[in-house]
């Protein structure tokens, strides 16, 4: 299959190639590299990205020496309060008054979609590390942003397929009522049905939600073998705790946490979560390279990092290394260059940025350990299998991104 990039993408690649070929060492815009970190710093997604993600970003800045070619790296941040309007207005203000070069973080999918439109309008660059909606590099793709860590497509492929293969062939979907939840619900439904299962019902809940009682009762009443949780953060924790109170497992049903983070499992404890299957883009104890970075992070933060926090470091470090190689922070040149080189570090295995902006890399099927199998408080997962990059993510042949034609 041959994929043809749109004229704009070709122009981006040409600009970068010309810059590198001439050996130009263009000055950094405004004499600085300015990175704005936008994330939920106080709400539902605080622990999976939040201040810990900002600390990971600062680690990347420190690891390149705090400046590039004499240009200092300035980092500033804002709490998007999980509001698309707040997020978009913040990014707009950053372009108007602070001349931001890179917008990083980007967690809630509704915020990300709104923010990336502003980034595109200003011909800037954004790297999305926290959002899950696969639409971010599908129907909502732009030539001005990259999606780094994960999305709903491999989460559905990994977790849902494994559960259906084990006999969990009837599902009830409990879905967060916004872009991320809708995308995950759609991807899970597709995988369940393609593998011979059936989604027998579902309900969408407001984001965020504290009381899941009525939703869990509806799920129990459906008779489905599997209750799929198409939500994240505190919503997932609250849903699982409510299900435990209502005796869901004892009644013969099983919960499938479709987007479960390390901090969620840690907060709920292994007694509640043991045996849970999940798909992750990274785990701190997966190999020596991951452990080495995670232990550095732990010394600063006092917690092991989530895959999002690790991805924020990885994406920021690759951005800064690319700026150093090019000698410019021009977003057109940097975006093109990021798409031209393989990405292999402590976070990414077999990684590359495709023309739709999706950074594809190996994903991992994991199982939450039992309390008896865990050796210490952060020893939470057993990695069961590797899902190769080219199998994990939506193939370009199915893409709706305007930057791709098949």
Strand 254-257 with 277-280, pairing: unpaired
Contact (CB, 8 A) for 262 and 380: yes
Residue 160: burial class (beta carbons within 10 Å; 0-12, 13-18, 19+): buried
Q: Which residues contact 265 (CB under 8 A, 6 or more apart)?
A: 273, 276, 368, 380, 381
> What are the residue boundaries of the structural domains of the chain, listed by start?
4-150+287-356, 153-280+364-387
- 153-280+364-387 has CATH 3.40.50.2300 classification: yes
Strands in 198-205's sheet, in edge-to-edge order, are 198-205, 170-176, 226-230, 254-257
Q: At what angle do helices 307-326 and 288-301 cross, to 10 degrees?
A: 100
Write the DSSP symbol of residue 26.
P
Predicted TM-score (pTM) of this structure:
0.85
Q: Is 105 left (phi over 0), alpha (psi -120 to 50) or beta?
A: left
Cis peptide before 179, with omega less than 30 degrees from 0?
no
Same fold, 4-150+287-356 and 153-280+364-387: yes
Q: What per-residue confidence (pLDDT) applies to 121?
A: 98
Question: Which helix (H) or strand (E) segment is 368 a member of?
Answer: strand 363-368
Q: What per-residue confidence (pLDDT) applies to 394?
A: 92
Which neighbouring-strand residues pair with 77?
37
What does the angle CA 287 – CA 316 – CA 338 come to, to the nearest 5 degrees? Answer: 95
Q: Give just the sign of the alpha carbon dihedral 135, 136, 138, 140.
A: positive
Which neighbouring-strand residues pair with 36?
76, 103
Q: What per-residue confidence (pLDDT) applies to 405?
A: 67
Q: What per-residue confidence (pLDDT) applies to 1?
A: 36
3-state SS assignment for residue 355: coil
Contact (CB, 8 A) for 168 and 225: yes
pLDDT tens track for 250-280: 888 989 988 889 999 999 999 888 888 889 9
Q: What per-residue confidence (pLDDT) applies to 275?
A: 85
Question: Which helix (H) or strand (E) segment is 296 a member of?
Answer: helix 288-301
Instruction: List, for the chain, all residue ranges whose pLDDT scores fall below the cut of 50.
Output: 1-25
pLDDT tens track for 214-228: 999 999 999 999 999
CATH class (in words) of the domain with range 4-150+287-356: alpha beta
Strand 4-5 with 33-39, pairing: unpaired
């Amino acid at each position: 299959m041959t994929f043809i990039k749109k004229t704009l993408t070709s122009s981006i690649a040409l600009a970068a190639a010309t810059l590198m070929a001439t050996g130009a060492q263009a000055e950094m815009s405004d004499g600085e590299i300015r990175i704005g970190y936008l994330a939920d710093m106080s709400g539902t997604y605080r622990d999976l990205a939040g201040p810990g993600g900002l600390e990971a970003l600062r680690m990347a800045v420190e690891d390149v020496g705090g400046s590039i070619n004499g240009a200092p790296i300035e980092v500033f941040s804002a709490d998007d309060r999980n509001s698309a309007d707040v997020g978009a207005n913040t990014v707009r203000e950053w372009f108007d008054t602070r001349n931001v070069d890179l917008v990083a973080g980007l967690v809630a999918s509704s915020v990300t979609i709104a923010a990336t439109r502003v980034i595109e309008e200003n011909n800037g660059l954004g790297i999305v590390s926290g959002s899950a909606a696969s639409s971010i590099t599908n129907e909502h793709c732009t030539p001005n942003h990259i999606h780094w860590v994960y999305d709903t497509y491999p989460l559905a492929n990994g977790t849902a397929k494994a559960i259906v293969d084990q006999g969990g062939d009837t599902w009830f979907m409990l879905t967060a009522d916004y872009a991320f939840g809708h995308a995950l619900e759609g991807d899970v439904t597709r995988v369940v049905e393609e593998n011979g299962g059936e989604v027998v019902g579902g309900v969408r809940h407001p984001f965020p939600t504290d009381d899941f009682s009525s939703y869990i009762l509806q799920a129990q009443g459906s008779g489905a073998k599997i209750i799929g949780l198409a939500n994240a953060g505190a919503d997932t924790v609250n849903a699982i705790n409510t299900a435990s109170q209502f005796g869901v497992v004892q009644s013969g049903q099983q919960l499938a946490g479709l987007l479960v983070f390390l901090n969620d499992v840690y907060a709920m404890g292994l007694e509640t979560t043991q045996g849970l299957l999940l798909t992750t883009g990274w785990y701190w104890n997966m190999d020596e390279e991951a452990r080495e970075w995670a232990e550095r992070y732990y010394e600063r933060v006092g917690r092991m990092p989530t895959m999002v926090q690790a991805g924020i470091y990885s994406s920021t470090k690759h951005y800064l290394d690319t700026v150093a190689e090019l000698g410019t922070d021009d977003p057109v040149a940097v975006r093109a260059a990021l798409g031209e080189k393989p990405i292999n570090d402590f976070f990414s295995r077999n990684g590359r940025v495709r023309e739709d902006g999706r950074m594809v890399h190996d994903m991992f099927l994991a199982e939450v350990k039992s309390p008896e199998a865990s050796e210490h408080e952060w020893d939470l997962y057993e990695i069961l299998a590797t899902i190769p990059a080219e199998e994990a993510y939506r193939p370009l042949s199915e893409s709706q991104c305007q930057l791709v034609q098949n």
